[in-house]
Chain A
Amino acid sequence: MPINYIYPDYEIERDYDKCINCRVCERQCANEAHAYNERRGKMLADSSKCVNCHRCVSLCPTRALKIVRTAHTFRENANWNGQLINEIYKQCDSGGVLLSSMGNPREYPIYFDRLLLNASQVTNPSIDPLREPMETRVSLGAKPDRIERGADGRMVNNLPPRLNLSMPAMFSAMSFGSISYNAHESLARAATELGIYYNTGEGGLHEDFYRYGPNTIVQVASGRFGVHGEYLNAGAAVEIKMGQGAKPGIGGHLPGKKIVGEVSRTRMIPVGSDAISPAPHHDIYSIEDLRQLVFSLKEATAYTKPVIVKIAAVHNVAAIASGIARSGADIIAIDGYRGGTGAAPTRIRDNVGIPIELALAAVDTRLRDERIRDRVSLVAGGSIRSSADLVKAVALGADACYIGTAAVLALGCHLCRSCQEGKCNWGIATQVPELVKRLNPNVGYRRLVNLMNAWNHEIKEIMGGMGINSIESLRGNRLMLRGVGLNEKELSILGVKHAGE
């Protein structure tokens, strides 16, 4: 029945004056959108197969290709847009749940874009980061309630183990399986060179990467894939993943076709079997259970590593975080609804959770109101798109940020949001060997290092303008923020004044 034909959203446009029939596009496209037509002696394209990942466009030697939004349209309707109509057709066909990847792309407010930063004028001097030290180093972890002194009167170090970051950023959890070996290698090497951390996600740690352990956060999620004693002790910290911003309240599903060779071994599950992470941890049905897991992991690592608890930003996030701060966790990571994913049900991704800006502000305020903010560090993610977002997150109250989407962009991702297909033409979200090798870790790690260094320079420049020379003096410093075009309620939740006030 032709009713199920869905006209592609994007069309491949080829300039035949420029095309030399080199067939690079054909070889590069794992979706097989391009083909050489012998009879007509020219390249043809099937736009319905195109995911708009720009691989062919980027590699076309004569710049003959571009991808354009189709002019083809349904009759205009402010309520029923083309995407909704097509999704109905798809579901009638398959009877299944719609799947999507990466972060929520819908037009909800972006509070970072409604916050402006301060700068010094006259009454206090701005500081030139090229002339004066400008400190972006941070230390994450719990703090004891009081100091202790030795017999000689000196303070003794009674701090629990902590993470030390050269700048307030870490790479977010992305599992080996959802992303490739080469992507993981790039992240691990970049984190090591930068003096920050990357996160294994729920996929275990490939044995080749144990040597990056001092810069690795190992994750324990509901499926417990790849978790064993050696793994827990391999990293610098252990993260319990309770939730993910892209899909709060649900688990994960890595399809069997991605469970190949090394992925299967690292996850400790049979080749070809689906890796299904349950929605809840089946040993955590409430906060007191979480406390037990926190301390189980601390026991397993002999209290030598901080434990992070990662939660999705949901309505009651402040109360949840307050409970976690009392659970023995050293660090709380909050993931906003814009956070990325390798695959999530579309309806969940696009409709569940709340913005990180509001969640972060609410959590920071609540923990201070309850006088427990000093007990834990806060890490915000989902989505931090630039150094400016990062600075704003710190001013709202974050100790550091998780960087996910920006990091995969550094590796070549073009945000086509088709990770769930497993045919990533950039070699990131795929396990197909010939695609994986397109991502050269030597290049990938260098680009990640460049990106973070560039951000660090920008952070220092912004801080210097404010007259602040330590990122610690920016943390929770909400007077450095002003809202524009926000209503009273939004301003009160964010704890910032309106511009002009």
Chain B
Amino acid sequence: MLRTREDILEGRLRIPSGCAISGIFSKSGKPIGGERIIKSIEVMHDRSNGLGGGFACYGIYPQFPDHYAIHVFHDNLASKRECEDFLLKNFDIASMSEIPTRLTSGVTDAPLIWRYFAEPLRHRVVEDFCDEDEFVARRVTHINARIDGSYVFSSGKNMGVFKAIGFPEDVGRFYRLEDYEGYCMIAHGRYPTNTPGWWGGAHPFALLSSSVVHNGEISSYDANRRSIEPYGYSCSLQTDTEVIAYIYDYLTRRVGLSQREFADVVAAPFWSAIADMPKDRREYYEYIRAMFSNFLITGPFSIIVGFEGGMMALNDRLKLRSMVCAERGDTLYAASEECAIRVVEPELDRVWAPAGGEPVIATLGRPGGER
């Protein structure tokens, strides 16, 4: 892994990327095989350039549903030892193992990739005066900022992120994604405009159980970054996805907004549209826009957010990036291009392009979804 090399660019520079994204969600919780999401993202091969691909898969660890599944890239055995010492001081580790991979021609320079099913030590959580999620978030931040050579890239419950440098379909095969199945599968193919060499810089970007894949280049980046950092986040990767993931985490987990309200903050309607709304809607948006003006995101983006029991697709308010949604039975699809949906499900009940700023949200056990 190249992170410790002096010439590495990831995190030193801001890296705009074009991208492909795709997400499949079963509202009834019916398992979706990993090969389906590989097939979906593969058809958008030209939207990536081989410099990063990744997946977020939900419902894949039914054997440890209540443990935090911590996925870590270790540069070497020394950093692995240091990281594991730290984990053991803070967690009860129910299981630890190397994440199974297969030799794949398009994926090289692999670090040591390990997975730990962990439960926070009760007395450590109490000492921190916080809840378990916050405890885990702090420990993850500690490892990523302080333990040189180890990087946690997934830390949710009953979910996992798998990512690498390479085309996304190669990355999926590298991680043997066909061996996993779950209720939600999200994929990302990256087209960065320079040459990042670090696996951690690939997407999805995840914190706890929420994960974000993103296509676009947000023009509000530095305003958002400088607004979220005071709340204890450190945007060390300097990517849009990272700052969006932190805003999502802050607004939903710490402020207590719903996914819908999060969408209303980051892709707020224009004042001209708000002026024409009925009184209660108008007052709601006036409040949202005054209270959370720092977290408005401008510039092109389409994102898919995975969270415990749900998935949300959202475009910027001008819809400056393509995104198509579709439904078949109780399954929701969202992708940069319609072909990525048709290739896995040729027969669809409904296909539509959501308007800018209009979130498409699906959650488990609500077959009708929320729109």
Contacts and interface: CB of A to CB of B under 8 A. Distances in A.
A69 B216 CA distance: 56
B221 A477 contact: yes
B31 interface: no
B138 interface: no
A499 to B, nearest CB: 15
Contacts of B226: 368, 476-478
Given A133-B272, A147-B256, A470-B298, A124 B291 contact: no
Nearest to B300: A124
Interface string A126-158: 010000110101010101101101000011010
Given A135-B270, A154-B284, A159-B291, A477 B223 contact: yes
Given A135-B271, A147-B256, A473-B298, A479 B291 contact: no
A138 B49 CA distance: 40
A151 to B, nearest CB: 15
A310 interface: no
A472 interface: yes
A159 B289 CA distance: 11
B290 A139 contact: yes
Contacts of B218: 124
B278 interface: no
B229 to A, nearest CB: 7
B352 interface: no
B230 A472 contact: no
A476 B255 contact: no
A496 to B, nearest CB: 10
Interface string B181-219: 000000000000100000000000000000000001111
A123 B293 contact: no
B291 A137 contact: no
B296 A470 contact: yes
Contacts of B272: 133
Nearest to A136: B271
A253 interface: no
Contact of A472 (B216, B223, B256, B300): B223
A475 interface: yes
Contacts of A146: 255
Nearest to B298: A473
B222 A478 contact: yes
A468 B255 contact: no
A431 interface: no
B29 interface: no
B258 to A, nearest CB: 9
A157 B284 CA distance: 8
B221 A125 contact: no
A305 interface: no
**Residue from B270, B298, B300, B318 having most chain A Cβ neighbours under 10 A:** B298
A123 B318 contact: no
Nearest to B229: A368
A120 interface: yes
A249 interface: no
Interface in A177-226: none
Interface string A82-106: 0000000000000000000000000
A149 B218 CA distance: 31
A467 interface: yes
A318 to B, nearest CB: 15
Interface string B49-74: 00000000000000000000000000
A157 B283 contact: yes
A474 B293 CA distance: 11
A155 B284 contact: yes
A270 B227 CA distance: 51
Contacts of B231: 371
- Listed from nearest, the 6 A-B pairs whose CB atoms lie closest are A473-B220, A479-B222, A477-B223, A467-B219, A124-B217, A473-B298
28 contacts: A123-B217, A124-B16, A124-B320, A125-B300, A132-B318, A133-B270, A143-B291, A146-B255, A147-B256, A147-B291, A155-B261, A157-B287, A159-B291, A368-B227, A371-B230, A371-B231, A374-B230, A467-B219, A467-B298, A467-B299, A467-B300, A468-B220, A473-B296, A473-B299, A475-B294, A476-B222, A476-B223, A477-B222
Interface of A: 120, 123-125, 127, 132-133, 135, 137, 139, 141, 143-144, 146-147, 149, 154-155, 157, 159, 162, 368-369, 371, 373-374, 466-470, 472-480
Interface of B: 14, 16, 18, 193, 216-224, 226-227, 229-231, 255-257, 261, 270-272, 283-284, 287-291, 293-294, 296-300, 317-318, 320
